[in-house]
Amino acid sequence: MSALDKLKLAENTRRTANSTPEGQLRNRMVDAINQQIAAAEAMQRGESFQVRRQFWGKAADGTKTIQEKLVRFRPWYWQDGNGAFMLEVRSANKVIELKPKKSAIEVGAISELVPTLALLREAVVAGELDKQLIAAKGRFGKKLA
């Protein structure tokens, strides 16, 4: 018996489903939804939510260092005139239509905001919004195959 016969071989490669263009769009959307969930949880606790980005900048002595800066956070949810919360999904700050001519989700009470966002995240992971994400990408970016 050779040494290779002792190994459990598979047909898989390093390329995963997440490295496809659709998988990359899904990952980016899941990251955005996770950020919205964190902001909603902070709002429910009465805390402020801040987003920080890292960038390469020059220090006083001229060397390159990683620095942080605050970035403006744009929530996807708002409170309408009746006091109910509404939610719309955004990609590159453009509204995505979940169904034709329907882009907003009526959440209701503030306590339902995080579970609604979690349900939306599950739909994105399952690939239910792939067509909408690809269509949105085609509107303002390179078209996918």
Is pLDDT at 143 greater than 60 in this prediction?
no
Provide mean pLDDT across the span 80-86: 92
User: What pLDDT was estimated at residue 94?
Assistant: 84
Alpha-carbon distance of 133 to 26, in angstroms, equals 8
Is pLDDT at 16 greater than 70 in this prediction?
no
Provide mean pLDDT across the span 74-89: 93
Residue 62 lies in a domain: yes
Instruction: Confirm whether pTM is higher than 0.85.
Output: no
* Structural domain harbouring 117: 18-140
Give the total number of structural domains in the chain. 1
Is the Cβ–Cβ distance between 121 and 33 less than 8 Å? yes
User: What pLDDT was estimated at residue 75?
Assistant: 94
DSSP state of 72: -
